[in-house]
Structure 1
Amino acid sequence: MANDHQWILDRLDGVLPDQTLQFLSDHVLARETPFQATLRWAQSAVQRGAAAAWPVVQPVLARVSDVLSDSPDIVFVMTLVGIAFAALQIALWVHRVMMFWTRLVSRLLLWAVVAALLAAVWQRGPEAVLRDAVVLGSKAVGYATIVKNIWLAEYDKYDSQTKNSRKAGRARGTGR
């Protein structure tokens, strides 16, 4: 009977060490082990339960198959619902996978920045890093000021164009 499960050991041969394969053969897959006894008991319990439930389930299955064969519209609708459900589950799975990788990359990026800051402090000292941070911050504020000025100039230009077009529209409207 030990040969019944030999295919399992053959599949795991290159994956697990020899000691683990021997342990599985002796203590899990051998016929006289408690695991096999429990497995046989569970299989017989499931078979007894299925045999006891079959007289109750068989008429229900017969009626369901009769109803489904009499009205193919129900089968079509249920197929569409099943396809929609499967598509939704796939979309949700893709969303979870994308969120996992996004979170992972974000965390890696955060810790990379923290490690880079610690390395800079370690190598250059806190005063030099603080000085560099102030210089970098002032450059960022200067750039933001330039962007703000450009945006305000464009906004003022657009505002004057719309005001001029309203005035021209009113002037044309009164001339009728």
Structure 2
Amino acid sequence: MITEHVRDAAATAFVFGFFASSWFGWAQEAPPKPWRPVLIAGSVLSLLTAAAGGLLAWSHWSDGTAFDADTSRTFGIVVGIEFGAAAVGAGLLALLGRRELTAPWVALVVGVHLFPVAVLMDYPLIHVVAALVTLIAVAAIPVARARAVAVSAVVGLGTGIVLLVAAVSSLLIALVAY
């Protein structure tokens, strides 16, 4: 479940921590009232983890990384496709008057894009995150309907938790290797 490079684990903690906070924030669009303290705590913990990961990545910036010229180019293409697919899907959902499905659509795109990222970085933990985020995206709509909860709350809470746990795990991996 670990990566070869401290910098990559620390940078993953930064990225996953930052985006976990974003997902906890999206979940606050219309959550059940009892969820709000959990979502706020998740956002704060995510940002603290991101800050720690960012500082550790910065301190190891000149160390080894899985990214070289070819890997970086491929990563950029994968992320570009991710952003494009997310934007086009969100736009179509808005045109169709189905904006409530935007969060699960974006989560699905994020989950699927993480599979090639895991391969590029040779970081097995990211495969687990990819599978879990994809599963959350697919399960969110029926779960939200069954519980009469906003879909964005279900997707945001689930994806936020997965990304926060992965961010903390990556930070610990980086600290142990440090």
TM-score bin (small chain): under 0.3
Relative contact order, higher structure (CA 8 A, sep 6+)? 2
TM-score, normalisation: structure 1? 0.23
Higher helix share: 1
TM-score by length of 2: 0.23
